[in-house]
Amino acid sequence: MARKPTTSDHPPAAPTPPVAPAAEFVLDGTVVVDGSVTEAVREGAFDGAALVVPEVVLGDVEAQAAQNLETGVTALDGLRRLREACDARGVGLSFGGERPRDPGRLRAAGMLEALARDLAEQRGATLVTSSAAQGAICRARGTPVRVLDRPPLADVASLGLMRYFDAETMSVHLRARTRPRAKHGTPGSMRLDAVGDDVLTERDVERLAREVVGLAERHPEGFIESDSGGSTVVQLADLRIAIARPPFADAVEITAVRPVARTRLDDYRHADLLRERLRARHRGVLVSGAPGAGKSTFVQAIADDLEAAGWLIKTMEKPRDLVLSDEITQYTALDGDMANTADVLLLVRPDYTIFDEMRRTEDFRVFADMRLAGVGLVGVVHATRGIDALQRMVGRIELGVIPQVIDTVVFIDAGDVAEIFETEYTVKVPTGMGDEGLARPVIEVRDHETQQLAYEMYTFGEQVVVMPLGEGDRDKAVWRHAARGLEETLARLWRTPVAVEVRSDQRADVFVDPYLIPEILGRGGRGIREVEADVGLRLTLLPIQAHGGRGGRRGGHAARDGGDAGGIDDGGRGRSGSGRPFERRGKRGRR
């Protein structure tokens, strides 16, 4: 008979099982920056869970914020909002993993996502990401993953700064501790108006800046063109937004610019001349004008016109703010260098490339290299006159190469074409110089419409001269440049300060120390004759005391030649037996 079980035969009652440990989730940087995990926490999707932010993500955010990068400041604000959401829902939030020494280098190498994934695998946790690529890699590795949908994109029109725009607004200017202002009108006819009564606080401007950067990081038409040391440039649809903050600026500031007009080439003066010139062959064109004059609007019209005519058009821009048709590809600096972009474009083989805009010496050199390779180019530069655009090329590329690189200069003023110049390379005696021995390579700059010679560019001594050839002041301008060049040449030759005044195309007065005049004249005037032959002018030597404040009359005496090679008399003048002023031509033997 079976024994009746006693109480002692039963095992003791099991204690109430402990609450299962909370599920653990490791967050990568994507969900922190775009705010998708914050929204999920607010909706209760992670109630009872424990969230872990990798130290590598925190270190990267901290490093960017310490460098005053807008992306870092925005991500730091995202972490703050995540903490507030977790505290409100009772969700645990902690930080784990190793702190990196150089998060910037890891970010550049694309290692941040991999390190976050490794941390999830080490802890046996689920990785949370909003990156489809990260999700695919986790599934391939067998790592538990949860891919969150990114928050729905806000429309650009919903940005806080858009309330300061209206149909006529070209740009909005927001600065901490001031009232918001905006420029209204069209290129060449603008006014700056206040667009609000309330003074913006630093917090107001910071909030608007974070909103812009956050949307630019996710918007398909958004780009962060540059972000460094307190300066951030964002392109968002047709808005170009520059954000400045201390120490780069003395206060937080936002400047947002947008185009107010979409024009056609036919809307401009000389449209037929330009169209014929651009389509005849691949050209090198400089479009110049003051800031806000309408340069970008004009090159957009050129690009659209050429594209409609069947030409393949590309652009090089930083930032990419031209508003163009979808058929035109807009490139930026590849790896931060336009030279790399140029290498790609030479493989793409466009008919014309729009370079908007050229600021640094390297930009001008890239423009020249592409032009010499046969690519048609339209470059945009800041200049207050048409000729100033060419002068900006001087010193950046060889003077003799300029006409091969730039054959057309278009100056934009008040939203329309004001001047068109064309360049040509020739060898001639510069205008205003009478001696045929002074012939040299000259770049002629002509008015395209009238074909009148407007400027000449050439070397004079060690200087590059850009000579205006307008009626009335042409000769005086030539003489002034000649005088400066002679002063440098003669002072170096004679090792003494000199002053020069050019009196005509053939004559000049040279003012020197009177005690050096005999030595300069040389025996029988041979020394001065050699110098005159070199410079192509007849020189009259005068004491330096006679220079300056003389009105129209000499305050001293001219040096004269003589058998004793210029003995000095009481007036500091060299005399000859004839008593005539010394003004001879010849060659100088001593250098």
Question: Mean pLDDT per 10-residue run, the chain (591 residues)?
Answer: 43 36 83 89 91 90 80 86 92 88 67 88 93 92 91 80 89 94 82 89 91 84 83 88 90 90 88 89 90 89 93 90 88 90 92 91 93 92 90 88 93 90 91 78 89 88 80 60 84 89 82 88 86 85 70 38 35 35 38 36
pTM of the prediction? 0.64
- pLDDT score of 551: 34
Q: Tell whether domain 265-468 is in CATH 2.40.50.140.
A: no
* Domain 156-257 classification at class level: alpha beta
Write down the domain spans for the chain. Answer: 24-147, 156-257, 265-468, 471-591
- Cα distances from 120 to residues 24, 47, 112, 194, 383, in angstroms, run 9, 19, 13, 53, 56
Domain 24-147, CATH among 3.30.420.10, 3.40.50.1010, 3.40.50.11540, 3.40.1280.10: 3.40.50.1010
Nearest to 407 by CA among 381, 368, 441: 368
Query: What single string gives the DSSP state of each residue in 10-26?
Result: SPPPPPPPPPPPPPEEE
Instruction: Please give the DSSP secondary-structure letter assigned to residue 568.
Output: B
Task: Give residues with Cβ within 8 angstroms of 563, minimum separation 6.
Answer: 524, 576, 577
With H, G, I as helix, E, B as strand and everything else as coil, classify residue 486. helix
Residue 454, classed as helix, strand or coil, is strand
Can you tell me which residue has the tokens 């941040």? 112
Bridge partners (DSSP) of residue 190 are: 185
Of 381, 187, 360, 361, the closest CA to residue 284 belongs to 381
Residue 84's pLDDT is what?
93
**pLDDT given for residue 92 in this prediction:** 92
Collapse the DSSP code of 504 into the 3-class scheme (helix H, G, I; strand E, B; otherwise coil) and give the result: coil
Residue 470 confidence (pLDDT): 64
Say if 156-257 and 265-468 have the same CATH topology: no
